Amino acid sequence: MTHPSAWLAVRPEGLYCIPGDFFIDPLRPVGRAVITHAHSDHARAGHGAVLATAETIALMRTRMGAGLEGTQLQALAPGEDMRLNGANIKLVPAGHVLGSAQVVIEHEGARVVVSGDYKRAADPTCAPFEPVACDVFITEATFGLPVFTHPPAGQEAGKLLESLRMFPERAHLVGCYALGKTQRLIGVLRGLGYDAPIYLHGALIPVCDTYERLGVRLGALLPATGAAPAEMAGRIVLAPPSALADRWSRRLPDPLTALASGWMRVRQRAKARGVELPLVISDHADWPELLRTFDDVGAPEIWVTHGEEQALIHAATQRGLTGRALRLIGYGEAAEEEAA
């Protein structure tokens, strides 16, 4: 076999497959891109040919507006093999958000899995992560420290419902990222039997509509803008994290601020954000899930794209694996921090 380090390169645009002549989640506009999922730091505008799952393409269009998501769009169904120039590729569910996929690349007898962002915990709004045996596993390390163990999402959502019972006069304003976190939180709440209408900040509505169109049922949703303030007392109001401390939230009745993010595990993070009710809900793998995934895919080599790579590589080395930091600058910033 030809070792993948000979045919997968880190270029200024991002991770590049030489025989396939394509970039994966490039950070700058390129001629041919394979996109793992529709979050803004992975799916950027202005590429030429774009290959992704049908859901990711739909979500990219919702986020960017038609025409910016790429000039030639090609949907590839999960599990289907495809030849792209000199490489074979396949998309496999990553469990991160709707449409998210790992990119499996085979070339001259070697198999690399570029996992994108992923999680192993259950999510009612997307297909679960499927481990694929490989020679090199390329992983994120957003929560690559042993202090990060995400509790079950149902337990965290339960805290929100308990708080609603304790403070029925307060609007419960929950910060959650527009794509993925919002729909998962709604799905988990519905799973717990909460069937009251959930109010949405305007920025969350288009993505929820797209999820519904793609067959994910979210129950009764109402726009928060235009709703009478008194109507939202004792209700759940979802908004992007950036809107929590915004003037937008001032019209809510005595809002109790919550934030759904894996970072809420660290209380000083919650404190710095002025969050009264931290909800540790993340769409990224926590530390035990990262390590379990290494075992499941059996790759002797782990490459880390972004996040807390130092600790994760150390842990990989202790398991007898070879670890390598790719230091792809540009992921996990701004928007993604909120999505985590």
Partner 1 sequence: MIAFAELLDRLTLTPGRLAKIALLKRFFASEADPDRGWALAALTGSLSFPTAKAGLIRALAEARTDAVLFRLSYDFVGDLAETVSLIWPAAEAAVPPSLTEIVTVLSSGRKTELPGRLAGWLDGSGPSVRYAILKLITGGLRAGASARLAKTALAEFAADLGQPGIAADDIEEVWHSLSPPYLPLFAWLEGLGEAPASGGAPVFRPPMLAQPLEEADFAALDPAAYAAEWKWDGIRVQLVRTASGSRVFSRGAEDISAAFPDLVDVLPAEAALDGELLVIRDGVVMPFAELQQRLNRKSPAAKMLRELPVGVLLYDILFDGAEDLRSLPFSERRVRLEAWVARHPAEKLRLSEIIPFGTMEELAALRAGARAAGIEGLMLKRKDSAYVPGRPKGLWWKWKRDPHTIDAVMMYAQRGHGKRSSYYSDYTFGLWREDGELVPVGKAYSGFTDAELLRLDRWVRAHTVRSYGPVREVERGVVLEIAFDAAQLSSRHKSGVALRFPRVARLRWDKPVAEADRLGTLMKLVGGGG
What residues line the site for partner 1 (CB under 8 A)?
145-149, 245, 265-272, 274-278, 308, 310-311, 314-315, 318, 329, 333-334
Q: In the complex, what is the shortest distance from the CB of residue 276 to partner 1, in angstroms, rounded to a whole number? A: 5
Q: In the complex, what is the shortest distance from the CB of residue 85 to partner 1, in angstroms, rounded to a whole number? A: 33
Is the CB of 167 or the CB of 194 nearer to partner 1? Answer: 167
Instruction: Tell me the C-alpha distance between 252 and 123, whole Å.
Output: 29
Q: In the complex, what is the shortest distance from the CB of residue 245 to partner 1, in angstroms, rounded to a whole number? A: 8
| Residue of 216, 166, 164, 215 whose CA lies nearest to 186 | 216
Q: In the complex, what is the shortest distance from the CB of residue 11 to partner 1, in angstroms, rounded to a whole number? A: 18
DSSP-assigned beta bridge partners for residue 198: 221
Is the CB of 69 or the CB of 286 nearer to partner 1? Answer: 286
80-102 per-residue burial string, b: 16 or more CB within 10 A, e: under 16: eeeebeebebbbbbbbbbbbbbb
Is the CB of 153 or the CB of 244 nearer to partner 1? Answer: 244
Place of tokens 């499996």: 104
Sign of the C-alpha dihedral, residues 221, 239, 276, 288? positive
Is the CB of 209 or the CB of 333 nearer to partner 1? Answer: 333
Is the CB of 32 or the CB of 150 nearer to partner 1? Answer: 150
| Residue of 130, 135, 80 whose CA lies nearest to 107 | 135
DSSP, res 179: T
Place of tokens 């590429």: 47
Q: In the complex, what is the shortest distance from the CB of residue 108 to partner 1, in angstroms, rounded to a whole number? A: 36
Instruction: Tell me the C-alpha distance between 104 and 79, whole Å.
Output: 10
Instruction: Tell me the C-alpha distance between 124 and 122, whole Å.
Output: 7
Is the CB of 18 or the CB of 266 nearer to partner 1? Answer: 266
Is the CB of 179 or the CB of 277 nearer to partner 1? Answer: 277
42 close to 23: Cβ distance less than 8 angstroms: no
| Residue of 111, 108, 116 whose CA lies nearest to 52 | 116
Q: In the complex, what is the shortest distance from the CB of residue 268 to partner 1, in angstroms, rounded to a whole number? A: 4
Q: In the complex, what is the shortest distance from the CB of residue 328 to partner 1, in angstroms, rounded to a whole number? A: 12
